[in-house]
Structure 1
């Protein structure tokens, strides 16, 4: 029912119209805590470095241009997009969508970000070409690019203390070599296999030297996705492998719709499942603050939205750096205290998504789908508009000059305003959800007349409505928790009419990216046509903060286990859950930093060192304090500061404890609560 109710809410919003929303997802909660993900949009294959008191981040951008974003932070939570390592990279017709060729899912990926002796470096592979090396003395640019003489899969680079530069790469079998002084090839004779394929490492290598020892992180799926790590006293080993420094943490995310099979109709879309161990943190690395603390970063698959990046406190144990907190290693809390970097910043987002197209340049958030034809688009031909001149294309995926930006979760509503006076016969222009299958909503001129056209690549279906105007508002309502979306249009910007049926968005490997919002214009009649003028683009976000529901501070509530009748009920001086029993009425006491105590009578719910729950008389202390957070779906969970595990109710015995390691995709964690205000 939750999925249906959210979808109906989306439909109502489409019908009623939405105000423009300037707020976008911000991980910083403003109370000294942050909530994962750092960005609620795709950020694949992240790599992060610290230079002095500054932190820098980049990640995969595949076929989009510009590529390799450079983000800067002072506190590891609030990030600013400085720019990109390259504006255009044209290595052939596949990068330009010419001659029937394309490079979807094949472009720049899995970068290794490093800083050495005054220079920033990014090493990144390009499928079908070689590894590329980017250099800059200022991370905001300019950057130079040098191709290496070979391709190194998912490489990680280390500038060692003795002046040698090591590189590791590979898929399951991990190889190591030295790079030459020019950093464009391997030192002859230096290449060796350092970890065998049967040792359980995987791919996505990051190479570090910590306190004289060498560490390699990777990602590997073996029954469950995991983040294994290897360590050695010497660069070439021998290496010891730890099979899980991060495991099972997806903040409750279930596996959504998944595309499988051919990249053209008819599509084979697998339905959602609750398979555990799939949508979890699995590829990333570590960064050390100037104060000496380590923090982990990694990505998790989040269905059709793409891959999200998480930030994790790190706990060292037996010489291994684990994601997570003492007593709950391998599990990253969704909400936790911000890193102590010595810098206090107010919350801000990395970029502005809305664009009135009134500036001299496009907003930094925009990326072109493949290399654009710069002679066929303009912000100057008509002031305050993005003009896209149409070029011939067989369909939307083959259309040049589609302007895109990453979709934003957990739900977002992009709206584009299009003027159609420049369209010529065969032209179609509008708003698209770029994925596989793709969906478009636009205006098409055919036979001298105009029509509003919704096209669903799944089944190659179209819905057309006659159109006689010149200006139209195009909207998509996308819910990435249910993976349901629907298009709507308006003739006045206030009343929106749905068109076509709701549809499911799917995870797919053709573009190797999540859904992207796209403005497009092309000619389906096989010739250059006219042009489309886009007046504005706006993205409304109903849930731009870390909690979908406010903490009921100061209120008296009942806590009932989600999906059951089990509640927290008072029984003498202990807390038990009893089916059909009266739940206890707790007063939610504010403990600061998003933390609460559960007051009951003259005491508080307390957790001892083994996780047992009881009512302790008197004031609240650490044992009586819980970090309030939510699953990715907005379901409340309470993590005890005594155990760093979550309050749970055993469905069989009704026993209450704080022993759950965290949310599971199959919902077998028994740690999600329905919070209701008590009468």
Structure 2
């Protein structure tokens, strides 16, 4: 057993260490070329469309709120966040509220974004509650109230499709099947009503059956129907498959579109096919093998061979391989980038922020003190679980940690209104383990405390009104915390910690605030400034 663990650890260390070296450059290189990944952070379960000269993508968000992030680009390389589809996760399930927090690794899974009937349409699933949809005339929102399409469990990875005759379709995978059927995954196709809000159950057709088939998308290109999905091979590796047919109901002819080598590519597999020009196509995909930053996104060229869209570098066997650099699809000047810093000057949270579960609305404010985010403290719903307090504490606000050569995040806190029992500070957050640097108040005295792997270390007492907390981490996800009492001189802790991947999510940098004794106390966040390198 120990030998097996050692071998697996070495393989993982080699794979991710090698992949870390590939991150030395990423995104737009400024010379008409780009390097993968184009999004070196947790933008998983992607889908993408083109509307006019704009490109829009969505990415799953699990238990984070608001849910299902929406991104925009004009060149498929430089992206920015423009909004979310789901404002209130309790419309999916009460288990996603701050007082339950019972859906780690579940909730908002993969979905699809499409544009038809002069609207943007997003469909997505959860493994426990089934399928949901919403539409909007502006992808930045507002999105229509969430509609529960089908209350069912054991399904995932759906896509809507509008055919030329106006008929709407819905495709999805049933991964919960009878064990007598060797747990095969069935991919189903349904017709939908004209409003896209109801499945026509009697139209149910199984298009494909195999072990581990998901990530469905449907396209119609040059008169042929194309069914894209992700398949799992005998080694448990995911790769891209495509079926094609003259009839949407089949029969489909299938072909593998790319090769997988985890030591080199980390399984590019789930994403969307996109047409730039008649002879220029691309595939925006996540890397299915998660590491501490999550499942990042890469852009791969597509070459059509005998009416098959081969993804990546085409081999002699007409199967694609991962590519790490290439010419930009579109030459256009853009300043778009993933947002991070926030001075909290707006009456609305900036779009990069996502709470861990649905927050308690009356316990945070951007208006009680202008120019500050005020976080009121309340008791975690399970305060006895000392090793996982942060996983049970409401109103923890987070954003994605980028995997770049250098990262520096600084938060300034006014801690003058803290009370006994209150804990607040900066965190690197994952279900596989989290670390914090923050202030704890006991018996009228404030202490600067470092926490990692379930253990607290008191650094010093604090008597100042304001404190600056800082985190820096490198391309390998090694983090060092620092603090300052004047915002100029920062004192680094001697300890370092490894950022972690857990529950299908990469590490989050965030701000927390809770009280183990009472519903009292608050802190004011003056600013959060986070810079990352190219």
Kindly indicate whether the alpha-carbon contact (under 8 Å) linking 1:70 and 1:82 is maintained by their aligned counterparts in 2.
Answer: yes
After alignment, is 418-427 or 188-197 more displaced? 188-197
Could you tell me which residue of structure 2 aligns to residue 453 of structure 1?
Answer: 449
Q: CA deviation at 1:538?
A: 1.0
Q: 1:178 aligns with which of 191, 197, 220?
A: 191
Q: CA deviation at 1:280?
A: 2.3
Return the alpha-carbon distance in structure 1 between the equivalents of residues 525 and 312 of structure 2.
Answer: 46
Work out whether 1:32 is the aligned partner of 2:35: no
Q: 1:299 aligns with which of 286, 307, 314?
A: 286
Q: CA deviation at 1:101?
A: 4.0
Return the alpha-carbon distance in structure 2 between the equivalents of residues 133 and 118 of structure 1.
Answer: 16
Q: Deviations over 1:574-594 (max 9, x none)?
A: xxxxxxxxxxxxxxxxxxxxx
Could you tell me which residue of structure 2 aligns to residue 168 of structure 1?
Answer: 171
Q: CA deviation at 1:433?
A: 0.6
Q: CA deviation at 1:495?
A: 2.9
Kindly indicate whether the alpha-carbon contact (under 8 Å) linking 1:150 and 1:185 is maintained by their aligned counterparts in 2.
Answer: no
Work out whether 1:401 is the aligned partner of 2:381: no
Could you tell me which residue of structure 2 aligns to residue 44 of structure 1?
Answer: 44
Could you tell me which residue of structure 2 aligns to residue 56 of structure 1?
Answer: 56
Kindly indicate whether the alpha-carbon contact (under 8 Å) linking 1:65 and 1:87 is maintained by their aligned counterparts in 2.
Answer: yes
Could you tell me which residue of structure 2 aligns to residue 129 of structure 1?
Answer: 129
Return the alpha-carbon distance in structure 1 between the equivalents of residues 76 and 249 of structure 2.
Answer: 32
Secondary structure of the equivalent of 2:495? strand
Q: CA deviation at 1:278?
A: 7.2
Q: CA deviation at 1:157?
A: 2.0
Matches within 5 A, 1:102-113: 102-113=102-113
Could you tell me which residue of structure 1 aligns to residue 149 of structure 2?
Answer: 148
Q: CA deviation at 1:296?
A: 0.8
Task: Name the CA shift for 1:150/1:181 in 2 (closer, same or farther; >3 Å).
Answer: farther
Q: CA deviation at 1:277?
A: 6.8
Q: Deviations over 1:455-513 (max 9, x none)?
A: 11x2444444222222211112222x32322222122223322336222222222xx21
Could you tell me which residue of structure 2 aligns to residue 534 of structure 1?
Answer: 525
Return the alpha-carbon distance in structure 2 between the equivalents of residues 215 and 292 of structure 1.
Answer: 18
Q: CA deviation at 1:290?
A: 4.4
Q: CA deviation at 1:442?
A: 0.5
Return the alpha-carbon distance in structure 2 between the equivalents of residues 500 and 125 of structure 1.
Answer: 44
Give the alignment's Cα RMSD to 1 decimal: 2.3
Could you tell me which residue of structure 2 aligns to residue 441 of structure 1?
Answer: 437
Q: CA deviation at 1:26?
A: 7.5
Could you tell me which residue of structure 1 aligns to residue 495 of structure 2?
Answer: 501
Could you tell me which residue of structure 1 aligns to residue 20 of structure 2?
Answer: none
Q: CA deviation at 1:50?
A: 1.3
Kindly indicate whether the alpha-carbon contact (under 8 Å) linking 1:303 and 1:514 is maintained by their aligned counterparts in 2.
Answer: yes
Kindly indicate whether the alpha-carbon contact (under 8 Å) linking 1:149 and 1:184 is maintained by their aligned counterparts in 2.
Answer: no
Could you tell me which residue of structure 2 aligns to residue 248 of structure 1?
Answer: 260
Kindly indicate whether the alpha-carbon contact (under 8 Å) linking 1:73 and 1:79 is maintained by their aligned counterparts in 2.
Answer: yes
Q: CA deviation at 1:345?
A: 2.3
Work out whether 1:424 is the aligned partner of 2:419: yes
Return the alpha-carbon distance in structure 1 between the equivalents of residues 248 and 94 of structure 2.
Answer: 40
Could you tell me which residue of structure 1 aligns to residue 21 of structure 2?
Answer: none
Return the alpha-carbon distance in structure 1 between the equivalents of residues 198 and 346 of structure 2.
Answer: 42
Q: CA deviation at 1:298?
A: 0.8
Return the alpha-carbon distance in structure 2 between the equivalents of residues 471 and 146 of structure 1.
Answer: 45
Q: After TM superposition, where is structure 1 displaced by more than 6 Å over at least 4 residues in a row?
A: none
Work out whether 1:317 is the aligned partner of 2:317: no
Return the alpha-carbon distance in structure 1 between the equivalents of residues 52 and 83 of structure 2.
Answer: 20
Q: CA deviation at 1:454?
A: 1.0
**TM-score normalized by the length of structure 1:** 0.68
Could you tell me which residue of structure 1 aligns to residue 329 of structure 2?
Answer: 339
Q: Deviations over 1:583-610 (max 9, x none)?
A: xxxxxxxxxxxxxxxxxxxxxxxxxxxx
Q: CA deviation at 1:390?
A: 0.3
Kindly indicate whether the alpha-carbon contact (under 8 Å) linking 1:157 and 1:207 is maintained by their aligned counterparts in 2.
Answer: yes
Task: Name the CA shift for 1:462/1:397 in 2 (closer, same or farther; >3 Å).
Answer: farther
Kindly indicate whether the alpha-carbon contact (under 8 Å) linking 1:30 and 1:346 is maintained by their aligned counterparts in 2.
Answer: no
Unmatched 5+ residue regions in structure 2?
Answer: 1-12, 14-24, 176-184, 384-388
Kindly indicate whether the alpha-carbon contact (under 8 Å) linking 2:89 and 2:357 is maintained by their aligned counterparts in 1.
Answer: no
Kindly indicate whether the alpha-carbon contact (under 8 Å) linking 2:81 and 2:339 is maintained by their aligned counterparts in 1.
Answer: no
Work out whether 1:229 is the aligned partner of 2:220: no
After alignment, is 221-230 or 159-168 more displaced? 221-230
Could you tell me which residue of structure 2 aligns to residue 518 of structure 1?
Answer: 510
Secondary structure of the equivalent of 2:391? helix
Work out whether 1:385 is the aligned partner of 2:396: no
Kindly indicate whether the alpha-carbon contact (under 8 Å) linking 2:265 and 2:322 is maintained by their aligned counterparts in 1.
Answer: no
Unmatched 5+ residue regions in structure 1?
Answer: 4-24, 250-274, 545-679
Could you tell me which residue of structure 2 aligns to residue 75 of structure 1?
Answer: 75
Return the alpha-carbon distance in structure 2 between the equivalents of residues 150 and 321 of structure 1.
Answer: 35
Kindly indicate whether the alpha-carbon contact (under 8 Å) linking 1:428 and 1:442 is maintained by their aligned counterparts in 2.
Answer: yes
